[in-house]
């Protein structure tokens, strides 16, 4: 029986709720189509309706449709909605993520790319383990050239869709003195020997399959009469190549996306894919969805005006039939704590007549959540952190706190066990078990047992040496406990234990954020009289209710907020250096600035009813107060759609009068400005190449400056990151 035979082909009710542009996107099924779907314009509705239209008109059978999403959740939702509109379950449609579709293709053709059809898909941990073996077998110093760094490089190449022999000279790296391409080739060979593939391979192997097997490619091109792709702005180069191969058959490809919401460049997404759609697919039709069903006019006009400052976009203007509502409120604050108090006070006011679920605080960087979390706990408002753990539950924060707990209470065996081999010291499970056995035998603490075990021959000499050094460090840190402030104590521990170096040498995407979190923790310690007071605070925080299923305020990064919507949105930290992010600007320049601006656009358009943007005039950074300038993005918002809060905190009410505000922030943001303004006065006499002296590490040379942090190569200690206060400039 034909699986589509019971479909009611005469029922076209799904078309009746579509606006003119949506209807055009649904009915334009022949040839390449790009649907530019702005925030809140109903893109999912269009995709679902388009599939229904194809099926109800019998243009294709379900198994002749390929629909690609970015998440399994999106795939399930789309399948459910299609089935609901069709009136029955849709069987046989190729609906899934890029990776799941890639697996399906490869399972049927594995032998053609040197694998068996039962090949294993390895995860990130497995990949790192394989690369560690490879680095070791090539006699490469894994401390200088860690496996995670190599994984980052290889994954980047695979996201670009290039094999080892296709890596361009300009894309090579100096990893292991230029051996990265050779290692990439060896890694691929190792995987094939083990009948395994990583996630990047699931797309790259398909590309290789299509390139080398024209008959296979033509079969898939013939099979898929219609191709649909969601979130096209988030595709990487490999996914783009994969799609082009498949779409060149019927050419009936429909990509839905928003160039103004391309915010994942840091993980390989290429906004150029959507910008070059007309070039890549000849005769393409572009349909713009601009009618917004989510936000009020002030919000949309402000977001549209902000994003107009980007050069790399196809262009569209969001509009709505909703009433104006409230303008976007801009408020200034003395410092970060003042800003957090104000935001949470407003949350309390809103919560009197609204559900907490409809309130969201969206930050640029993960470490910013700490101040808001602490304030919410103080006023007893429940909250959830979306897209990641709460601040004090993050791995690096737990590790740092574990070190402090042992210093505070040496008998704390749970904390000691957590960090005994973090960073790696060659103290494995065998050593830890031996310490546990002695502890149980003598009814003694783990740290005392560790001190006793180094006097024996129970553990290996290497382990004994590492353990002895760790215990010596703890004895010294304990002696410093009552002689120094908590912040300095933590920084000493993280430095001397090698913990900071561990994350500085880690080249994963997450590493910079973890370092930022550690710095935020250090800054937090300034608020506590002693170590005990801080640890008591943490205990109370961790004891807080962890059930995140009820009515709660939402806290998340701007990246995590994409695809979500709330009635009331707070956007704190709109300051130069923080947003747009200085690290991104320094690394990627104009490209990063445009992506940062898209982040701002995403943040504003998450709101249905109200948006509050705030900035602080100073923030604590690296233990010192840094003056801040309002984000350039505030100056780009249209005056008629914003309102400066008259009752500013601790600031002259005339600050925003007579265009003073605009004059203050409408400056030239070229590189020379950033280099002079973003670096504190005290280190402006230090430049890249400066010869310096450090009390502990000796003589070194500055290779990079990042605010007060100096990246220095020392003659006898290698590369370190040091705060400028702790170095002396040599004038010879």
Active-site positions read 43-44, 230-231, 261, 606
CA distance 70 to 232: 9
Tokens of 490: 């933590």
Task: Determine whether 101 is exposed, middle or buried from the number of CB atoms within 10 Å of its CB (0-12, 13-18, 19+).
Answer: buried
Q: Where do we find the tokens 């040091």?
A: 722
CA distance 579 to 74: 30
With CA atoms as reference, report the closest residue to 631 among 645, 621, 610, 616.
Answer: 616
DSSP codes, 496-525: HTTHHHHHHS--STTHHHHHHHHHHHHHHG
Tokens of 153: 């490089």
Identify the DSSP state of 9.
T
Instruction: Find out whether the peptide bond into 423 is cis, omega within 30 degrees of 0.
Output: yes
Q: Based on C-alpha coordinates, what's the Rg of the chain?
A: 28
692 and 729 in contact (C-beta within 8 Å)? yes
Asked whether the CA dihedral 65, 67, 72, 78 is positive or negative, the reply is: negative
284 and 579 in contact (C-beta within 8 Å)? no
CA distance 106 to 98: 12
**Would strands 328-335 and 359-363 be described as parallel, antiparallel, or unpaired?**
unpaired
SS3 162: coil
CA distance 653 to 167: 58
Partner residues linked to 286 by β-bridges = 34
With CA atoms as reference, report the closest residue to 52 among 21, 1, 18, 98.
Answer: 18
């Amino acid at each position: 029986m034909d699986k589509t035979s019971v479909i009611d082909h005469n029922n076209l009710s799904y078309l009746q709720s579509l606006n003119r542009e949506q209807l055009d996107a649904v009915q334009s099924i022949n040839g390449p189509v790009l649907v530019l779907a702005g925030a809140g314009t109903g893109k999912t509705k269009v995709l679902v309706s388009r599939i229904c239209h194809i099926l109800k008109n019998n243009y294709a059978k379900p198994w002749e449709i390929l629909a690609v999403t970015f998440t399994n959740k999106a795939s399930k939702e789309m399948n459910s909605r299609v089935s609901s509109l069709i009136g029955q379950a849709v069987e046989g449609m190729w609906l899934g993520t890029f990776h799941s579709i890639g697996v399906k293709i490869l399972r049927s053709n594995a032998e053609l790319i040197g694998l068996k059809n039962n090949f294993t898909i390895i995860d990130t941990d497995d990949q790192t383990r394989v690369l560690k073996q490879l680095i070791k077998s090539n006699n490469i110093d894994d401390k200088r050239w860690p496996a995670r760094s190599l994984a980052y490089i290889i994954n980047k190449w695979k996201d670009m869709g290039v094999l080892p022999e296709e890596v361009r000279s300009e894309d090579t790296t100096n990893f292991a003195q230029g051996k990265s391409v050779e290692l990439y080739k060896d890694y691929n060979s190792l995987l094939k020997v083990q009948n395994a593939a990583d996630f990047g391979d699931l797309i790259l192997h398909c590309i290789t399959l299509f390139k080398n097997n024209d008959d296979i490619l033509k079969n898939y091109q013939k099979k898929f009469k219609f191709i649909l792709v969601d979130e096209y702005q988030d595709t990487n180069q490999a996914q783009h190549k994969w799609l082009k191969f498949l779409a060149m058959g019927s050419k009936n490809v429909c990509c839905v996306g928003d160039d103004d919401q391309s915010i994942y460049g840091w993980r390989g997404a290429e906004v150029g894919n959507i910008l070059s759609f007309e070039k890549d697919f000849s005769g393409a039709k572009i349909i713009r969805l601009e009618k917004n069903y989510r936000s009020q006019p002030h919000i949309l006009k402000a977001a549209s005006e902000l994003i107009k400052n980007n050069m790399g976009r196809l262009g569209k203007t969001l509009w709505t039939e909703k009433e104006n509502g409230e303008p976007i409120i801009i408020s200034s604050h003395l410092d970060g704590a003042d800003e957090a108090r104000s935001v949470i006070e407003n949350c309390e006011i809103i919560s009197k007549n609204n559900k907490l679920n409809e309130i969201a605080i969206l930050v640029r960087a993960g470490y910013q959540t700490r101040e808001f979390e602490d304030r919410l706990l103080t006023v007893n408002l429940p909250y959830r952190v979306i897209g990641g753990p709460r601040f004090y539950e993050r791995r690096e924060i737990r590790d740092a706190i574990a070190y402090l707990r042992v210093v505070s209470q040496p008998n704390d065996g749970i904390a000691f066990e957590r960090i005994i081999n973090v960073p790696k010291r060659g103290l494995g499970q065998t050593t830890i078990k031996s310490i546990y056995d002695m502890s149980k035998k003598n009814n003694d603490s783990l740290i005392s047992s560790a001190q006793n075990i180094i006097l024996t021959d129970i553990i290996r000499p290497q382990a004994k040496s590492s353990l002895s050094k760790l215990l010596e460090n703890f004895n010294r840190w304990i002696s410093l406990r009552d002689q120094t402030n908590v912040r300095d104590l933590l920084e000493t521990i993280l430095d001397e234990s090698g913990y900071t170096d561990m994350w500085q040498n880690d080249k994963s995407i997450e590493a910079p954020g973890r370092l930022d979190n550690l710095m935020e923790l250090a800054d937090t310690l300034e608020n506590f009289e002693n170590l005990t007071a801080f640890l008591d605070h943490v205990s109370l925080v961790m004891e807080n209710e962890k059930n995140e299923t009820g009515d709660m305020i939402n806290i998340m990064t701007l990246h995590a907020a994409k695809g979500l919507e709330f009635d009331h949105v707070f956007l704190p930290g709109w300051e130069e250096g923080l947003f747009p992010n200085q690290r991104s600007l320094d690394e990627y320049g104009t490209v990063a600035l445009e992506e940062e601006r898209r982040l701002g656009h995403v943040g504003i358009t998450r709101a249905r009813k109200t948006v509050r943007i705030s900035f602080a005039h100073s923030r604590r950074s690296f233990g010192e107060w840094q003056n801040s300038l309002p984000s350039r993005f505030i100056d780009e918002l249209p005056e008629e759609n914003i309102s400066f809060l008259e009752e500013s905190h601790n600031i002259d009410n005339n600050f925003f009068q007579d265009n003073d505000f605009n004059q203050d922030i409408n400056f030239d943001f070229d590189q020379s400005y950033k280099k002079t303004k973003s670096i504190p006065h005290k280190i402006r006499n230090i430049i890249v190449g400066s010869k310096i002296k450090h009390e502990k590490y000796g003589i070194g040379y500055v290779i990079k400056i990042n605010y007060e942090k100096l990246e220095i190569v020392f003659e006898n200690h290698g590369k370190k990151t040091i705060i400028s206060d702790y170095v002396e400039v040599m004038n010879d």
